[in-house]
Amino acid sequence: MRFRSIAKWDTPRESKNLLFFAQLVDELLFDYTLDSYKPSAMNTPILISEAEITILQVESSIINKANLKHIFDELCEILPKDEVALSLLAVDLNEVRSTLKSSPEQSKAAVIDLLAKQLSLTQYKVRCEEILITAVTEGHDLPRIRALTRTYMTTLLNSGYSARFISKIAQDYFFYDQNRISSNLAINEFISFFFSSEPEPHSFL
C-alpha cells in the first residue's frame, strides 16, 4: 500500500475496513501500478454487452461465430465468482452455464438476452454499491472487500468515470480535504459522489 497520512481519521483502528478500502482504491488507480494489479477492463455486464454485439455481427455474417466461444467461456468462468452478478441473477446459474457451453446458438442468444435484462450496468453498479457498503460497515472479511473494491472500480470506469477523476475524489475525501473520517460509515458519503446516473463532463478527463 502507498503511504498516506491518516491524520484526519478519528478512529483508524475501528475504521480499518474503510481504511483498507481507501488505500486499495489509491493503489488500484495509481498511474504506475502494474497492469496486472489495476482494475479489470471488463465486468460481467460489459462482457454480456460484448456478447450481444458479437451475436448481432455473427447473425449479419460480419464475423465468424467462432468469435463467440471465448466470450461464452469467459462468462461461464466469471459468473460463479461474481458476488454482485449472482445477487441479481434470477435464473439458475448451472442452466446458464450449460446453455452457453453446449446448446444451439439460438438458445445461447436467448440466454444472453435474459442476462442483459437482469444484469444491466446501472443495476449492477447500484447493487455493487449496496454490497460494498455492507461489507465495509458490517463485515470483517478483507478479501471480500478487496474483491468488491476491484469490481466497483471496474464498474465506475465502465460507467464513464476516468481513473484520474475517481483517484482525485478518493484522495481528497480520505486523505486531504478538511472533512473528518469518523467511522466505516463514511463509505456511504464517498460512494454518494458517484450516485449520478450520468458522470459530469470533467469526470471523463
Three-class secondary structure of residue 181 per DSSP: strand
Distance CA 67, CA 154 (A): 24
| 19-38 tens-digit pLDDT | 999 999 999 998 765 566 67
User: Model-level pTM greater than 0.75?
Assistant: yes
Cβ-defined contacts of 10-15 (< 8 Å, 24+):
10/180, 10/181, 10/182, 10/183, 11/182, 11/183, 14/183, 14/184, 15/181, 15/182, 15/183, 15/184, 15/186
Confidence grade of residue 151 (pLDDT, cut at 50, 70, 90) = very high
Percent of the chain at pLDDT exceeding 90: 76
Q: Which pLDDT tens digit goes with each residue over 35-72?
A: 666 788 889 999 999 999 999 999 898 888 888 999 99
- Cα(32)–Cα(36) distance, rounded to whole angstroms? 11
The pLDDT tens digits of the residues spanning 158-194 come to 999 999 999 999 999 999 999 999 999 999 999 999 9
**Burial zone of 2 (CB within 10 Å; 0-12 exposed, 13-18 middle, 19+ buried):** exposed
The continuous run of DSSP H or E covering 87 comes out as helix 83-88
Whether pLDDT at 118 is above 70: yes
Cell numbers standing for residue 76: 461461464
The helix (H) or strand (E) run that includes residue 115 is helix 105-118
CA–CA separation, 152 and 159 (whole Å):
10
Q: How far apart are CA 19 and CA 202, in angstroms?
A: 27
